[in-house]
Amino acid sequence: MINHPHSSISELDKQYVWHPYSSLTDPIPSYEVTSADGVYLRLSDGRSLIDGMSSWWCAIHGYNHPALNAAAKGQIDLMSHVMFGGITHKPAVVLCEKLASISPPGLNKVFLSDSGSVSVEVAIKMACQYWISLGMSRKSRLLTIQSGYHGDTFAAMSVCDPLTGMHHIFKEVLTQQFFAPTPRTKFKEKWVEEDITDFKKILEAHSAEIAAVILEPIVQGAGGMHFYSPQYLIRVRELCDQYDVLLIADEIATGFGRTGELFACNWANIAPDIMCLGKALTGGYMTLAATLCSEKVSDGICKGEAGCFMHGPTFMGNPLACAVANTSIDLLMKQDWKANIDRIQDQFQMRLEPFAAMSTVAEVRCLGAIGVVELHKPVDMRTIQKQFVDTGIWVRPFGKLVYLMPPFIITNEQLGTLVDSMYRVLSNL
């Protein structure tokens, strides 16, 4: 291993490392983190930042958690990885049973993979192979809603918002999917049936071509942080049943309590045919994802020509990741997580209210452990990122959205510091 002084890491980073959604010709500076503990990230220059992002929404228990550390250390001495083809092991079996037991009813078959985007690829592939197995291969396209985000791989990109999403430049090479308008009825607003009209018209006209509907239940994340009515989700479930189309729920960002329900589908009391999980699955320790489906889907696939589901990632069912995921889920379920999320939501409602009076702010909203300040104009990332760091917080906006998804362990005092620091920066825009 080559040892480098901390002072050279930033220069080496600029020379060799390509960060996500970053330019190599005009890069935004990256900050070197040397350690993390609780809700704090420690930089190489000695500064500590309160993390308002949970490392892209996954570190729900914070950093350096003793129970998660112990799970990783205990498993690595047994085996860090074995292939999952023809081999099984306790961490994966226990995890799959656990996921089936806490998920919406009927989702009792679990396919493990490496990342959220791959879990979406798996879900789409499941839906298509299901209809192929039934001799209905024409049902091969997806219906989704605008302002959605489902990942960066190719099938996942095809169901992200085609105009305002991050992947519109690839429109000529992506499968053309069906898009209904973004739900207009907000989370706490009175339901308006016209909100589902265009969605229903697409199903009526194209159900013979549509394999599945895919959407983020209740909260659309990276596509715009929209919170929509549970009634919309109820109507989607009803229409999928009516027109014989599968329903895929992308709970990668919303799963494991983030919205105030264990899964966002629970707000509408519905169960999808297929559900994608990731991010918080391991508490942010390891990369791991899962795609759950009903027996209807698994039986349909396995009784077809192939006789099996045609997918198999190399690191599927990684024992180390599964061991940490089991401990992370246990940590969550053994506490009064719902009361804790309600506490965070109450703090957001109180502390974010002053932002609404700013002339630069279009709307303030929160749900569960998600707080959003939507501006009238996009932020200048190069400027605002440094300002956040200089005030002692880590917040990573995108476009017009300055949002918070902190670790669930954050205290009221830490959350107050986080929001107050954000206020100081935004008040100077």
| Residue closest to 114 by CA, chosen among 288, 324, 326 | 288
Q: Look up the CATH number of domain 6-64+336-426.
A: 3.90.1150.10
Strand order in the sheet with 361-367: 361-367, 370-375, 401-404
Give the predicted TM-score (pTM) of the model.
Answer: 0.96
Please report the sign of the dihedral spanned by the C-alpha atoms of residue 262, residue 264, residue 266, residue 272. negative
Assign 3-class secondary structure to the chain.
Answer: CCCCCHHHHHHHHHHHCCCCCCCCCCCCCCCCEEEEEECEEEECCCCEEEECCHHHHCCCCCECCHHHHHHHHHHHCCCCCCCCCCCCCHHHHHHHHHHHHHCCCCCCEEEEECCHHHHHHHHHHHHHHHHHHCCCCCCCEEEEECCCCCCCCHHHHHCCCCCCCCCHHHCCCCCCCEEECCCCCECCCCCCHHHHHHHHHHHHHHCCCEEEEEECCCEECCCCCEEECHHHHHHHHHHHHHCCCEEEEECCCCCCCCCCCCCHHHHCCCCCCEEEECHHHHCCCCCCEEEEECHHHHHHHHCCCCCCCCCCCCCCCCHHHHHHHHHHHHHHHCCCHHHHHHHHHHHHHHHCHHHHHCCCEEEEEEECCEEEEEECCCCCHHHHHHHHHHCCEECCCECCEEEECCCCCCCHHHHHHHHHHHHHHHCCC
User: Can you give the pLDDT of all 429 residues of the chain as single tens digits?
Assistant: 456 655 689 899 999 999 998 999 988 889 999 999 999 999 999 999 999 999 999 999 999 999 999 999 999 999 999 999 999 999 999 999 999 999 999 999 999 999 999 999 999 999 999 999 999 999 999 999 999 999 999 999 999 998 876 778 898 899 999 999 999 999 999 999 999 999 999 999 999 999 999 999 999 999 999 999 999 999 999 999 999 999 999 999 999 999 999 999 999 999 999 999 999 999 999 999 999 999 999 999 999 999 999 999 999 999 999 999 999 999 999 999 999 999 999 999 999 999 999 999 999 999 999 999 999 999 999 999 999 999 999 999 999 999 999 999 999 999 999 999 999 999 998
CATH class of the domain defined by 70-333: alpha beta
Residue with tokens 């690191």: 315
Residue 21 is among the residues annotated as catalytic for this protein: yes
Catalytic hit among 16, 21, 26, 190: 21
Which listed residue (130, 149, 232, 285) is catalytic?
149
pLDDT computed for residue 1 by the predictor: 46
Instruction: Determine which one of 109, 125, 279, 400 is catalytic.
Output: 279
Nearest in space to 254 (alpha carbons), one of 161, 155, 368, 375: 368
Q: Quick check: is 423 catalytic?
A: no
Q: What phi and psi, each to the nearest 5 degrees, are found at residue 41? A: -105, 130
* Cβ atoms of residues 193 and 225 within 8 Å: no
pLDDT at 163: 83
> In 394-408, which positions are buried (b, 16+ CB within 10 angstroms) versus exposed (e)?
bbebbbbbbbbbbbb
| Domain ranges across the chain | 6-64+336-426, 70-333
Q: Which of 250, 285, 400, 403 is catalytic?
A: 250
Residue (of 87, 223, 203) closest to 149 by Cα position: 223
The torsion of the CA quartet 281, 96, 152, 310, rounded to 10 degrees, works out to: 170
Rounded Cα distance, 396 and 51, in Å: 10
